Amino acid sequence: MLSHNLGYPRVGSHRELKKADEQFWAGTIGKDALQKVARQIRHQNWETQREAGIELIPSNDFSLYDHVLDTSLMVGAIPERYHQLLDGKSNKELDLYFAMARGIQVGNLDIKAMEMTKWFDTNYHYLVPEFVKNQKFSRYSDKVLLEFEDALQKGILTKPVLLGPVTYLLLGKEKDEGFVKTDLIDNLLPVYISVLKELASRGADWVQLDEPGLVLDLNDNERLAFQSAYQQIREAVPKIRILVTAYFGALEDNLAVATSLPVDALHIDITRGPEGLAAILEDRAFVESTKKLSLGVVDGRNIWKNDYKKSLETIEKAANILGTDRLMIAPSCSLLHSPHDLDLEKDEAVLTPEIKNWMAFAKQKLGEVAALSKLTGTDWCSDEAYLANQEAIASRHVSTLIHKPTVKERAARITEKDFERLNAFPFRQKIQLEKLKLPLFPSTTIGSFPQTDDIRQLRARLKKGTLTLEDYEKRIREEIISSLRWQEDLGIDVLVHGEFERNDMVEYFGEKLSGFVFTQNGWVQSYGSRCVKPPVIYGDVERPEPMTVKWSAFAQANSEKLVKGMLTGPVTILQWSFVRDDQPRKDTTFQIALAIRDEVIDLEKAGIKVIQIDEPAIREGLPLRKRAWGNYVKWAVDAFRLSAAGVADRTQIHTHMCYSEFNDIIDSIAAMDADVITIETSRSQMELLDAFARFNYPNEIGPGVYDIHSPRVPTVDEMILLLEKALKVIPARNLWVNPDCGLKTRKWPETEAALRNMISAANLLRESVEVTS
Ligand code: GLN
Ligand code: ZN
């Protein structure tokens, strides 16, 4: 039974690519040095996979920035604004590539980057292909051929990986009116066919075409595109063996389309859609064909060890029907979404041996794939690797580190009442108006202030032990005080303490809650050179002690104005972590919600009257299939409400979200029942507010009046204009004035100038509205 891999992390085990990319952009290294690092990573990856015993190793899974961008270059989908960079200078290909990825601003050249968005439901971001009417495609980059040849020279006959033509189109955006992107398939296919022919002529045996589009809701047109594409490919390139991969979910209603494609093998993701295997094994046409089935049994998106018993039983179920010759074993998806190598986690104080023994990163997952393929059909029960695996699984299962009966019991006692504030919003609003005495159009910020090097150093030195806790806290107190004075000076109505003590909005809470661990090197690519190191939720979550009360109470004690308490919400903490896979995500989220609820109540007790619970990740948690949305949204909203509802009517609960494409889920946003929601709308010139207006959103809203992602200082007039626009759809008493996100990535001078203008805008608007009413 063939073991294979779908893709390997590209940034290098020590983030070598990140460093090289950034040096290249800064001009400190040249093109050759960058390519050298890239080649070393590829070679290392192939070597690692060969050593792990993977039989069919991928190539072209590497990328200097993004594999969707690589595909756009392969097929020559280069938007017109970059054509001036083409100019026949082939050695400028890298400049073109990075200009498309990041934009370019040199001399009088100023070209915007391509748009970036999330790759399915992962935290990886890709560059969105841009299509125009009658879009032409022609082969431009030969990267796939070069990498195939490179591996061949090292004696490895790889399986080149291409983003499949239909998914590539599905991921793109129509920039003109009057056409549908999947109709471009006939223009696109000749490029794919010519690449495949050339791969075949150079000796490629297998090629992998990634079509995760097959796990999405598709219309008839899109399904037809799959059928006609693969029909044409098959006819034009009969020799090469084609593996189509469908990962991140089950095929469900696309099963018949997928199994009928004239290809040699189909890969399915068993970890995300276990029922999908049964469906395929019942599909007569597939069973009676000679096609191979690749079983994605090892989770490519998590850090837990595979349970060999479960996997082997699954594989053998399939083998009984198809025979082992027709099976292939693989990770569920590309290992791009896993950190590199658990062996690099050497500090036992950070990751204890007991917990480490439950984990597997990309390199370890390769070993699992190879082991499963070797064990299938043998008398595995007495195999050493099998026994060690089962021992680790059993130890995790019963560990007292994971299971806290008191936490589970408390979660089991949650009732409907716990999701409800005491009274409905209109009643609360009246009380809050009385108690908080806020003016019309109250102003606030989203939480963080510029994180200067100085502040970062403080936290780093505390961690290293070169600064005492006492000195550290003294410095943080000073920062808080000076930011309070500064906000009072500007005339902001609801102040924040500035989040100087926080490195990251999830990590800060993860470090204070039980049930979380952190890694030293568990980096995962988020986009381009940017990597994140998500916390790991391994056990029942509990709050051993208050997490933010000390700082918030200190800040409130030092100002006559209201100071907001600042928390990260349960869904965002879940969404931005690696989550335990031994209980439903909902259960883990509710445990976090209970911990946040306790914090909210403690903040109220400490005299904090306004508390913000950030949920920027609530939307990105939406499942890929629409029919699964209802269930997710229900528990996600419930988790937020659970965290917020323990306070009195007079306490004002805020929430904040960065991406405000809420059209489809606006009713759920309203159901969160936050007294105030602050959102990002400035980039779209308040267009996104329409959803709130159409829905008649009942509670208070602060539509961000300026874009904090840019250092540009907005003028007073601009912001008044935006506020007036907002006033057309939001009642005046419900409108807040604030920037569209936290300010931690900005510098102080521009922050001060922008906020000063923002306050002037609020004041002017207040005057004009008060005069006319
Ligand atoms: N309170 C956080 C901050 O201001 C919110 C960050 C976010 O929305 N991503 O930094
Ligand atoms: Zn935000």
Domains of the chain: 405-772 (3.20.20.210)
CA distances (Å), origin 90, targets 68, 98, 452: 21, 14, 41
* Rounded average pLDDT over 435-462: 96
CA–CA distance, 476 with 24 (Å, rounded to integer): 36
Question: 744 with 720: CB under 8 angstroms?
Answer: no
* Rounded average pLDDT over 75-82: 97
Band of pLDDT at residue 692, cut at 50, 70 and 90: confident
| Residue 689, pLDDT score | 82
In tens, the pLDDT along 387-436 reads 999 999 999 999 999 999 999 999 999 999 999 999 999 999 999 999 99
Token pair 């580190």: residue: 401
Q: What are phi and psi of 573, to 5 degrees?
A: -60, -45
CA–CA distance, 384 with 223 (Å, rounded to integer): 46
Band of pLDDT at residue 660, cut at 50, 70 and 90: low
Q: Is the pLDDT of residue 163 over 80?
A: yes
In tens, the pLDDT along 538-581 reads 999 999 999 999 999 999 999 999 999 999 999 999 999 999 99
Q: Is the pLDDT of residue 685 over 90?
A: no
- Index of the ligand 1 atom closest to the CA of residue 742: 4
Q: What are phi and psi of 715, to 5 degrees?
A: -85, 165
| Residue 91, pLDDT score | 62
Ligand nearest to the CA of 569: 1
Please tell me if the CB atom of residue 679 comes closer than 6 angstroms to any atom of ligand 1: no
| Nearest Cα residue to 157 out of 207, 209, 211, 210 | 207
Please tell me if the CB atom of residue 762 comes closer than 6 angstroms to any atom of ligand 1: no
| Residue 773, pLDDT score | 59
In tens, the pLDDT along 491-519 reads 999 999 999 999 999 999 999 999 999 99
Which of 495, 614, 681 has the most ligand 1 atoms within 8 A of CB, as the residue to mutate? 614
* Rounded average pLDDT over 206-218: 98
CA atoms within 13 A on the CB side of 168: 28
Higher-pLDDT residue of 208, 664: 208
Please tell me if the CB atom of residue 655 comes closer than 6 angstroms to any atom of ligand 1: no
Question: Around Cβ 174, how many Cβ atoms within 10 Å?
Answer: 16
Higher-pLDDT residue of 39, 112: 39
Ligand nearest to the CA of 499: 1
| Residue 90, pLDDT score | 57
Contact residues for 353 (Cβ-Cβ < 8 A; gap 6+): none
| Residue 243, pLDDT score | 98
- Amino acid symbol at 509: F
Band of pLDDT at residue 669, cut at 50, 70 and 90: very high
Please tell me if the CB atom of residue 450 comes closer than 6 angstroms to any atom of ligand 1: no
| Residue 106, pLDDT score | 85
Give the DSSP H or E segment for 210: strand 206-210
| Nearest Cα residue to 216 out of 181, 166, 265, 175 | 166
Catalytic residue list contains 337: no
DSSP class per residue in 145-160: HHHHHHHHHTT---EE
Helices 185-201, 220-236: crossing angle, 10 deg rounding: 30
Which of 509, 568, 656, 740 has the most ligand 1 atoms within 8 A of CB, as the residue to mutate? 656
Please tell me if the CB atom of residue 703 comes closer than 6 angstroms to any atom of ligand 1: no
Q: Is the pLDDT of residue 620 over 80?
A: yes
| Residue 34, pLDDT score | 98
pTM of this prediction exceeds 0.75: yes
CB burial string 336-359: b at 16+ within 10 A, e below: bbbbbbbebbeeeeebeeebbbbb
* Rounded average pLDDT over 287-305: 98
Band of pLDDT at residue 690, cut at 50, 70 and 90: confident
Q: Is the pLDDT of residue 89 over 60?
A: no
* Rounded average pLDDT over 739-756: 95
- CA 231 to centroid of ligand 2, rounded, Å: 46
CA–CA distance, 103 with 152 (Å, rounded to integer): 35
| Residue 568, pLDDT score | 98
Which of 109-123, 650-664, 676-690 has the lowest average pLDDT? Answer: 676-690
Question: 608 with 546: CB under 8 angstroms?
Answer: no
